[in-house]
Structure 1
Amino acid sequence: MYIKTLDPLSAPAAHLLALSDAYMASLYPAESNHMESPAALALPNVLFLGAYLDGDLAGCGAVKIMNDDGSYGEIKRVYVLESFRGRGVSKQLMQALEAHLVEQQVPLVRLETGISQPEALGLYEKLGYHYRTPFGSYQLDPLSVFMEKRL
């Protein structure tokens, strides 16, 4: 597996993000989905990565460097194609995103995910994330889970 920067406006990224959108829409109502658009993922404060297995794009993830509620990186749009799940893709994406924050001297990483994603919650817990209250512009939502980790 290898991970490299991916243009969020490219056709392969658009395909992954559309599948991610459909998956999240199947789990949560629109008001509980907080996904970044491809254009937002192309902004200078965002790193968008693709993970490749056997030459195929298997998943993606992003981190957005924020300064609205202290300085932190926010994990966004981590998604792995169903056929590649269970092979450590998400873990490696998360580690690459965290490494980028360390390189940028950003000491804290946060994320918002949903209550209907036990695999994601389990991964974040194993990676050392702790539960917290809403951050930034997020509001309390019974379908949302907020987590953070010191790097």
Structure 2
Amino acid sequence: MVKEAEPSVGRWRRRFDSSASAGVPAHVTVLVPFLDIDRIDAAVIDELRELFGEHSPFTVRFDSCRRFPDVLYLAPTPDQPFRALTEAVAARWPEAPPYGGQFTEVIPHLTVAHGQQAHVLDEAEAALTVLLPITADVASVSLFVSDGDRWHQRAEFPLHG
């Protein structure tokens, strides 16, 4: 979760990012999809705790808006710590490749809006640009699971380094 971004991006996400209305706060995804909910047992939680605990906390800045086709997002700098977290989880659970293996490169990002026409993305970008940069301290990774309707935080894993 990136709590520091919520005051700036929250209203845009609530309107134009379906994950926000499903209970997901502002965030940079480490890995989606992960394991089926019935596979996430105490052993998996313990492995995640150990895996993330090997990584150090870090500070990130979001100082620019960028786009994928029909997606407006904030780009984190540096993005390498997020990449390292994704690579570590994907290496441990190769059956759960990032984004189902759809993309050859995973680009860390904080989604603000998706599935909208260009003029909506333009409006959101213009409003957000004047609020940047946003600085955030990343000291943990949260695991969210879906009940089919909403997402719920199941666990939080501190980064110790």
Higher relative contact order (CA 8 A, sep 6+): 2
TM-score by length of structure 2 reads 0.30
Question: Which structure carries more strand by proportion?
Answer: 1
Which one has the bigger helix percentage? 2
Give the TM-score normalised by the residue count of structure 1.
Answer: 0.31
Larger Rg: 2
